[in-house]
Structures are given as structure tokens and as C-alpha cells.
Amino acid sequence: MKQTISFDPDLIRRFDVPGPRYTSYPTADRFSDNFDAASLQQHLQRIDPASGLSLYFHIPFCNTICYYCACNKVISKDRSLSAKYVDYLAREMAMQAALLPEPRNVQQIHWGGGTPTFLQPDEIRRLMASIREHFILQADGEYSIEVDPRKVTPEIVALLASEGFNRMSLGVQDFDPNVQQAVNRIQSVEETRVVLDAARQYGFKSISVDLIYGLPHQSVESFGKTLDTVLAMQPDRLALYNYAHLPTRFMPQRRIEAADLPSPDAKLQILSLAIAKLADAGYVFIGMDHFARPDDELAVAQRQGRLQRNFQGYSTHAECDLLAFGVSSIGKAGGAFSQNQRDLEAYYAAIDQGAFPLMRGWTLSEDDILRNAIIQALMCDFALDFTAVEARFPIRFSEYFASELDALQGLEAAGLLELSEQGLSVTEAGRMLVRIIAMVFDAYLHTDQQQRRYSRVI
């Protein structure tokens, strides 16, 4: 069934509070330093070989800095850095793969960053060869990469296709020259279109474009022009991210003047315009900040109940364990989360010592697994079937979640959801605020004794 959305600015103003994005539950800020290499080894050995694997590779390097960016990155024009990094990725892969049961079938790969296409052509080939050395890539798999169109030629797109990539995410953010100048990302429409056209020429099955609203000097009129330009390119997916201005946490953002940012009301008007334009163009609202054409795999997976949410956003292949490689990367395997060292030198040092480059992690409790399933259902399906939860877990929903059901009644009265004895469904007006509903089931938020720094939900 096609998901629709209605935009209620008064409701959004009322509930636009800081909250987690639920790319995991528990969220990464809850992970513990007590999760050690022995813990990771145990969980890797628990992976069910009958289920396919998903692999994530974090490539942190960028040529230039975008001031809005909150990613873990290394800014450099020294291309020799990536050659060394690929060597260490191969060594980390060998360490993890040695603990995995056979067969190591891979259904999904994602290269993120940073800028993955910072890698030289021979390094792309070398990393893919290392992946194939340790894993079996399925012919019908989903293999995606994040691309900066300013640094990619049609020849590189052809190389990516020849190495098996079939999904691409293009960073755009905004085409307005004033906005681009303010965030230090100068990117023309033409160089973006060249890469998108090349991706189609070389058989990429899904092409996504990333935009950001709330950047300095944006207006309803200027962002409307960017949207019109992007929609004319007819991407399969579109991500519309909210810029969260947190300069005390992310140093590059200190170069953005707060006075240049659109007001909260202007941001809502920009978001409202974007939603209307996307709906008119036939895109389905997947959730949070993702839209897709009805025939795109994300939309199909949502209709079939196979959609999941993880550290790369919305994704298919919900049954896969996620192995992660590279600095700061986060995996989920065998009932645990694990995150690598954020610092490049600490990452290298650990691998040189023959140790996992582990920074922290979390072993999921039975309650975590239960609440994760509920939050996933809300974030992906906009609905929750109490009977289905009871069939999967040994609980009586009305008793286990008595306090949560009381809290949900307040959200129902506000118009975010509809409750029944069998379950709940998120209203069209509530879909933009689904994080608010998910937060009701977050046990760690309820018992939090320290201030957490989350972005606002809109």
C-alpha cells in the first residue's frame, strides 16, 4: 500500500524536540567501553551462516571540507593516504572473516564516508578484490556507493559498474550558488547530471540524490528551484536531510554563521514545499527523510514488510547481519553492536598489534531485542501489530508496555496515531513525527541521568 503524508505545521512545531534518529536501538551513544575483543569474537562466531551478510566500509577521506558535515572524515589532497588505508581494510577483513562460519554469502555492500571515490581506480579494484577473497558476493545483491559528483568522471562510473556496484547515492545538498559558497561546496548542475547519466548508461539499478534543507541563505524560492532541477533528473530515490547546526560538537560548522540560517518557520515552509513537490512527482514517503519512486526497491520492500533501518538509513535485506570495516564504522552481528576506533592512528595501531580496532559496543538484552523490533516496525511500517509482537516474544503487550500505552494515548489525542486493542497505526499527519512515537518505547531515554545531544526531529 502506498504511504502518504500530510504536513501539519502546528503539530510539527508542538513536537519538534531533540530525539534519536534510531539508526540503531540502543542508539550508538549508549554503547559501552566494556565491550571488548573477546565479546566481538563471540558474537561474530554466532552469526547464522544461512542468513546473508551486509558489509559496510567507511572511507573517511575528502579533498575539501563541507562546512555542514558531521561525518567522521579526514581532509587531505594527499592521495597516498588511501592506498595505506585499503591495505588496513584488507587486514581487518581477514581478521573478522577468520571467525565467521561458512558460507560467507553477501547480499549487500555499502561504501560510505567521507568520499569513497577519493580512492584511486587501482585502489577500488584492490578493495573489491579483497572483499571477494573473503566473501561470496551474490549475483542479485545490492552494492551501493556514495559519490561526490565533483570528483567523478564517466570512466570512474564505468569502473564502479564493472566492479559490481549497482546502486549510487549522489551528494548535491543545494544548487543555489549563495548556499554553495556559504557551505564551501561548489557543484554545478552539469557535472552532477554527467555522473547521473553515466550511472544510467552503465546499468546502475537505483540512483539516489541527497539534499539538505536548513542551510545558510536557503529560502523557499531558492530551494524550490533546486528541487525542480533535481526532479527533472528523475532520480529513483531522494533523501531530504535536516541540517542540524551543532557547532560546539562539529568544528566545521563553526564557519557557518547562525544569522545566515533560515528561521524555524522558514525551514518548515521549505520542508512543506519539498513534500508537496515530491508527492506531485509521484514519490512515495519511505520514512524520516527518504522518498522513492513506487517501483524502487525501497518502496517495494516497505510494501512487502522487508524494510529495515540501520546506520546507512533505510535499507532492504532486514535479515542480514552487518559487518563494518574502517574507522568509526558500526556493525551489528550475532546479537551485538560494535564500533571501531574513530581516530585513524588508533585504528592502524590496533590492527598492527593484531587486535580488532574496537572502540566500544553493546550486547543486546532480550528487552533491547524486543524494543528494537517495535521501533523498527514504527520507523519502517508506520504501524505496530501487538499480536505479532506477542507471537514473537513471550510477553503480554498490554502488561509489559502498560506505561508506554498510557503515553501513547496522549499522542493519539494529538493526532499522531490511532490506537486499538490489536495495535497502532501512525496517521498521515504523524508520519513526519514517527521518531516521537518511537521514543515512547526507548527505555534508555526514560532512565537517562545525563544530557544527550540529539538533533531535533524535524
- Count how many domains the chain has: 2
- Between the alpha carbon of residue 133 and those of residues 90, 93, 104, 129, the distances in Å are 9, 10, 11, 6
Whole-prediction pTM value? Answer: 0.94
Q: Indicate whether 232 pLDDT > 90.
A: yes
98 shares a domain with 207? yes
Together in a domain, 22 and 32: no
Give the domain-ending residue among 257, 289, 323.
323
Residues 420/341, Cβ–Cβ less than 8 Å = no
The last residue of a domain, from among 258, 288, 323: 323
Q: Is the confidence at residue 451, as pLDDT, over 60? A: no
Are residues 308 and 437 both part of a single domain? no
pLDDT in tens, 45-69: 999 888 889 999 999 999 999 999 9
93 in the same domain as 131: yes
State whether 37 and 52 are in the same domain: yes
Kindly state the cell numbers that stand for 120: 584511486
Q: Is residue 240 exposed (0-12), middle (13-18) or buried (19+ Cβ within 10 Å)? A: buried
**337 is a domain residue:** no
Question: In which band, very low, low, confident or very high, does the pLDDT at 315 lie, cut at 50, 70 and 90?
Answer: confident
Domain that holds residue 383: 1-26+366-449+454-458
In DSSP notation, 373-401 reads: HHHHHHHHHSEEEHHHHHHHSSS-HHHHT
Of 405, 407, 404, 457, which is closest to residue 433 (Cα–Cα)? 457
Last residue of a domain, one of 323, 357, 377: 323
10 DSSP assignment: H
Going by DSSP bridges, is the β-strand pair 136-147/105-113 parallel, antiparallel, or unpaired?
Answer: parallel
pLDDT band for 388, please (50, 70, 90 cuts). Answer: very high
CATH number, domain containing residue 197: 3.80.30.20
In angstroms, rounded to a whole number, what is the distance separating the alpha carbons of residues 177 and 218?
10
User: For 262-287, what is each residue's pLDDT tens digit?
Assistant: 998 999 999 999 999 999 999 999 98
Q: Determine the average pLDDT of the residues in 445-455.
A: 66
